[in-house]
Amino acid sequence: MKYDQIKNRIAPCGLNCEKCFAYKNGDIVEYSKRLKTSLGGFDVYAERFVDLFGITVLNKYSDFEEVLNYFSYAKCTGCRNEGCKLIKNCKVRTCSQRKGSDYCFQCSDFPCNDTGFDDHLNTRSVNINKRMGKIGVEKYYEEVKNKPRY
């Protein structure tokens, strides 16, 4: 895949937008929709299976269904298109635009702590960007395109 195509998938921080649960065209949305379709009206059966077979975990089916519905209706079009809808304090996109760099590793101030991320996400972003800087954006994308984001 070409660099410009990858740019629409990998955010400046290095996270893969298309693997995010908030990304409207991502795997999680598609799999959630398929699972909802496959389950159909399972809520009625969940109650019956608790009563008939003692499968008590199905008492939590409504909670599962609520999460599945949430995952099915993600609306984010990606960090570069509209800003991250997930990480509200993210400063990376605006910084990237201001400095004219596509990714953090391309910035002369990299690594920095002015991302708006918590320690875990900041460390993860730094490690991702170091990897991209070492092997290149295209090779990095090939490494992660089929892996889960989380």
pLDDT tens for residues 9-66? 999 999 999 899 999 889 999 999 999 999 999 999 999 999 999 999 999 999 999 9
Helix axes 42-53, 61-72, angle to 10 degrees: 160
Taking the C-alpha atoms of residue 132 and residue 61, their distance in angstroms, rounded to an integer, is: 41
- C-alpha distances (whole Å) from 67 to each of 18, 32, 35, 46 are 19, 9, 12, 16
How far apart (Å, rounded) are the C-alpha atoms in residues 1 and 141? 8
Give yes or no for a contact between 22 and 111, defined as CB atoms under 8 angstroms apart. Answer: no
Cα distance between residue 104 and residue 102, in whole Å? 7
pLDDT, one tens digit per residue, over 1-14 is 898 889 989 999 99
Q: Is the pTM of this model over 0.95?
A: no
